[in-house]
């Protein structure tokens, strides 16, 4: 790798920040639960206070989304996250099991590397900083270059709030010269104990390939299945609310709609009534040229853009009042080269028709295995038996029922753990399927008291083996004794 002066400066900065964070975390690890909670509260309060200013900064710098919705995301990433975990015990003894004489104790991992996406640059700083500090850790944050200024300002907000509340200097920091070389150094350095990565597939792969333990989250591509028992108007409203929230920049937002033959006419009417515009074949072709880049990755030009911006980009005319662009698609098209069956993070939805629930589950599986395996699926239904059937069939860590995908997946409209990092499980190449919480950022030390002696184990084994041998009826008494001795000795060895 040929390193520029900027790369070298970034690498040196990373090493300095990690040294400071390591020292700060050692001091912080001795803080009481009450002191940790007070620091997290101060960070959350500061996040709320700065939520509008930072939302406007993020929208202006990245060009993604709607600043008013980013205000809500900032409040979610600070206030909502802190309130959910405020009473969670994360210091010292977490639990005791008197019957089995086991004690669980919390052990912070140390210094966390927080990789921040450009789609949620300020809210992710609040969220990752709060859950890291809550679990007793320090965090060094790597901003996305496209969102550098707003991310660094968010880091300043929470780090200053934490310091004023009594946290040691250096507990929360960020790279001011973000380069690939610097981020690579952050991920691979010995003082980094865990990587918390949210972003594109290449970045997450790099995190898992770094040699440092990582919790990484790749793309979402959530299909929304409107089953025939669903309240169609309400289902469409939820999908529209989700897809237009911050112009679809949350990874759990719907990327396609699946309907049945039995309700397709009602769904299509309702989509049009609520601002969905079905693209013509010609328009589908025009827009498709801008969804993916030449290397097959999502085109940043479309991410978080308004309908007008998308229409102007593709040179298409859409009716006034259009909220979402809808492209009819077919199962045969699904694949890496079909942009509509991929994650889009903008108000564009693919549209599919199937015969029944089994076909919908098969289509959902094909879509998620194409992109977004293990992430999220959305279902609108009133049939409780079918809900369980569908959930058991699809490869998603979150199956959200009768709720907007974007807000349900992160735990805003559901009671899932509030999170802006959503694990995809083994099928998605992730180390966890959880909505990442403070409990994912600590180790558990278990204190276990002896309950049996070796003679007890031998006795139990001897009784079991004797019963097994005697029940065979094939050996005489002398042979039984010899066989018993042989098996007991084998157990001891």
Tokens at 342, concatenated: 């991929």
Supply the pTM of this predicted model: 0.90
pLDDT category, 235, cuts 50, 70, 90? very high
Please tell me the predicted confidence (pLDDT) of residue 476: 61
Specify the pairing of strand 222-226 against strand 254-260.
Answer: parallel
Task: Give 322-344 pLDDT, tens digit per residue.
Answer: 999 999 999 999 999 999 999 99
Task: Give 176-217 pLDDT, tens digit per residue.
Answer: 999 999 999 999 999 999 999 987 777 778 888 899 999 988
Tokens at 211, concatenated: 């040699």
Q: Which residues pair with 255 in a beta bridge?
A: none
How far apart CA 486 and CA 493 sit, in angstroms, is 11
pLDDT category, 464, cuts 50, 70, 90? low
Query: Considering the chain, what percentage of its residues have pLDDT values greater than 70?
Result: 93
pLDDT category, 458, cuts 50, 70, 90? confident
**Chain mean pLDDT for the chain:** 93
Q: What is the mean pLDDT of residues 29-53?
A: 98
Q: What is the mean pLDDT of residues 223-231?
A: 97
Q: Which residues pair with 203 in a beta bridge?
A: none
Q: How many residues does the chain have?
A: 493
Task: Give 292-318 pLDDT, tens digit per residue.
Answer: 999 998 999 999 999 999 999 999 999
Evaluate if residue 445 carries a pLDDT over 70: yes
Of 153, 135, 139, 133, nearest in space to 39 by CA = 133
Catalytic site residue from 40, 150, 251, 357: 251
Tokens at 110, concatenated: 């140390």
How far apart CA 361 and CA 403 sit, in angstroms, is 18
Give 52's contacts (C-beta < 8 A, 6+ positions apart).
67, 71, 74
Please tell me the predicted confidence (pLDDT) of residue 351: 98
How far apart CA 385 and CA 103 sit, in angstroms, is 40
Specify the pairing of strand 222-226 against strand 214-217.
Answer: unpaired
Distances in Å between the Cα of 262 and the Cα atoms of 355, 361, 401, 474 are 8, 16, 20, 67
Evaluate if residue 488 carries a pLDDT over 80: no
Please tell me the predicted confidence (pLDDT) of residue 145: 94
424 is catalytic: no
CATH architecture of 222-416: 3-Layer(aba) Sandwich (3.40)
Least reliable range by pLDDT among 203-212, 258-267, 351-360: 203-212
Task: Give 127-157 pLDDT, tens digit per residue.
Answer: 999 999 999 999 999 999 999 999 999 999 9
Same fold, 5-218+437-445 and 222-416: no
Please tell me the predicted confidence (pLDDT) of residue 146: 95
Domain extents in the chain: 5-218+437-445, 222-416, 455-492
Of 422, 443, 452, 37, nearest in space to 198 by CA = 422
Please tell me the predicted confidence (pLDDT) of residue 481: 59
pLDDT category, 483, cuts 50, 70, 90? low
How far apart CA 49 and CA 78 sit, in angstroms, is 10
Please tell me the predicted confidence (pLDDT) of residue 204: 79
In Å, the largest CA–CA distance within the chain is 96
**Is there a contact between 203 and 115 (Cβ–Cβ < 8 Å)?**
yes
* 3-class state of residue 171 by DSSP: coil
Q: Which CATH number among 3.40.50.2300, 3.60.150.10, 3.30.70.120, 3.40.605.10 corresponds to the domain 5-218+437-445?
A: 3.40.605.10
Task: Give 368-406 pLDDT, tens digit per residue.
Answer: 999 999 999 999 999 999 999 999 999 999 999 999 999
Tokens at 202, concatenated: 């290449």
Q: Which residues pair with 328 in a beta bridge?
A: 351
How far apart CA 276 and CA 351 sit, in angstroms, is 11
**Is there a contact between 42 and 101 (Cβ–Cβ < 8 Å)?**
no
pLDDT category, 346, cuts 50, 70, 90? very high
Please tell me the predicted confidence (pLDDT) of residue 462: 67
Specify the pairing of strand 214-217 against strand 111-115.
Answer: unpaired
Q: What is the mean pLDDT of residues 16-34?
A: 98
Please tell me the predicted confidence (pLDDT) of residue 378: 98
Question: What is the 8-class DSSP label of residue 284?
Answer: H
Please tell me the predicted confidence (pLDDT) of residue 217: 83
Least reliable range by pLDDT among 184-188, 248-252, 278-282, 480-484: 480-484
Please tell me the predicted confidence (pLDDT) of residue 11: 97
């Amino acid at each position: 790798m040929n390193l520029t002066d900027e790369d070298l400066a970034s690498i040196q900065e990373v090493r300095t920040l990690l040294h400071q964070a390591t020292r700060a975390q050692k001091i912080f690890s001795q803080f009481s639960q009450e002191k940790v909670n007070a620091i997290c509260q101060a960070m959350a309060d500061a996040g709320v206070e700065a939520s509008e200013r930072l939302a406007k900064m993020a929208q202006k710098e990245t060009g993604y989304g709607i600043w008013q919705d980013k205000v809500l995301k900032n409040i979610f990433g600070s206030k909502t996250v802190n309130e959910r975990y405020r009473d969670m015990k994360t210091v010292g003894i977490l639990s005791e099991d008197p019957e089995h004489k086991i004690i669980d104790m919390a052990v912070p991992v140390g210094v966390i590397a927080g990789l921040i996406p450009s789609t949620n640059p300020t809210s992710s700083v609040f969220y990752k900083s709060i859950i890291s500090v809550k679990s007793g850790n320090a965090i060094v944050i790597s901003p996305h270059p496209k969102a550098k200024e707003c991310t660094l300002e968010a880091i300043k907000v929470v780090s200053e709030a934490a310091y004023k509340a009594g946290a040691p200097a250096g507990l929360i920091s960020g790279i001011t010269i973000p380069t690939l070389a610097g981020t690579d150094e952050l991920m691979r350095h010995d003082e980094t104990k865990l990587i918390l990565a949210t972003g594109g597939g290449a970045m997450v792969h790099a995190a898992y390939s770094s040699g440092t333990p990582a919790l990484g989250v790749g793309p979402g591509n959530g299909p929304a299945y409107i089953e025939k028992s669903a309240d169609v108007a309400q289902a469409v409203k939820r999908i529209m609310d989700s897809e237009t929230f911050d112009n679809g920049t949350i990874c759990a937002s719907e990327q396609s709609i699946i309907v049945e033959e039995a309700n397709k006419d009602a769904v299509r009417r309702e989509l049009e009534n609520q601002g969905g515009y079905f693209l013509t074949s010609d328009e589908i072709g025009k827009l498709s040229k801008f969804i993916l880049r030449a290397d097959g990755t999502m085109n940043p030009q479309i991410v978080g853009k308004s309908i007008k911006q998308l229409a102007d980009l593709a040179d298409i005319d859409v009716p006034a009042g259009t909220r979402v662009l809808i492209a009819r698609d077919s199962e045969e098209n699904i694949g890496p080269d079909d942009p509509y069956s991929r994650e889009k993070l903008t108000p564009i939805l693919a549209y599919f028709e199937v015969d029944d629930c089994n076909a919908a589950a098969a289509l959902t599986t094909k879509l998620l295995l194409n992109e977004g395996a293990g992430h999220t699926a959305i279902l609108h239904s009133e049939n409780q038996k079918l809900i369980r059937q569908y959930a058991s069939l699809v490869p998603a860590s979150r199956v959200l029922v009768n709720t907007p995908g974007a807000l349900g997946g992160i735990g805003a409209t559901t009671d899932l753990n509030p999170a802006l990092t959503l694990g995809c499980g083994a099928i998605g190449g992730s180390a966890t399927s959880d909505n990442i919480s403070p409990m994912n950022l600590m180790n558990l030390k278990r204190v276990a008291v002896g309950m049996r002696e070796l003679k007890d184990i031998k006795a139990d084994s001897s009784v079991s083996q004797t019963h097994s041998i005697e029940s065979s009826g094939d050996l005489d008494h002398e042979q039984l004794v010899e066989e018993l001795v042989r098996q007991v000795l084998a157990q001891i060895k």
